[in-house]
Amino acid sequence: RCVVCHGHQSPMGSLDLTSREAAIRGGRSGTALRPGDAEGSPLYTFVESREMPQGDPLSEEEIELIRKWIGLGAEWEEEIR
């Protein structure tokens, strides 16, 4: 659901979340993803606080999956189109 606003076409805040490299590079506010450090990753902080995705927060289970994924290194198989 993140790529609706943070995709290839005019990503909000200049944050493109369609690839691991783009998420690490980040947008206007800096990096969004720090592999191995969920609590230090703004991506996790925003979903955990329910600030994102706006109007449609993730479930507890989805948030926990993101925390674990980032903690394990945030491996990314392919770019999202």
Burial of residue 16, with CB atoms counted within 10 A of its CB: 0-12 exposed, 13-18 middle, 19 or more buried: buried
d(CA 8, CA 11): 6
Strand partners, 30: 27
Q: What's the confidence (pLDDT) of residue 12?
A: 87
Q: Tell whether the torsion through CA atoms of 69, 49, 56 and 25 is positive or negative.
A: negative
pTM score, whole prediction: 0.86
CA distance 32 to 46: 10
Q: What is the pLDDT along the chain (81 residues), one digit of tens a residue?
A: 888 889 878 888 899 999 999 999 999 999 999 999 999 999 999 999 998 888 888 999 999 999 999 999 999 876 566
CB distance 38 to 44 below 8 Å:
yes
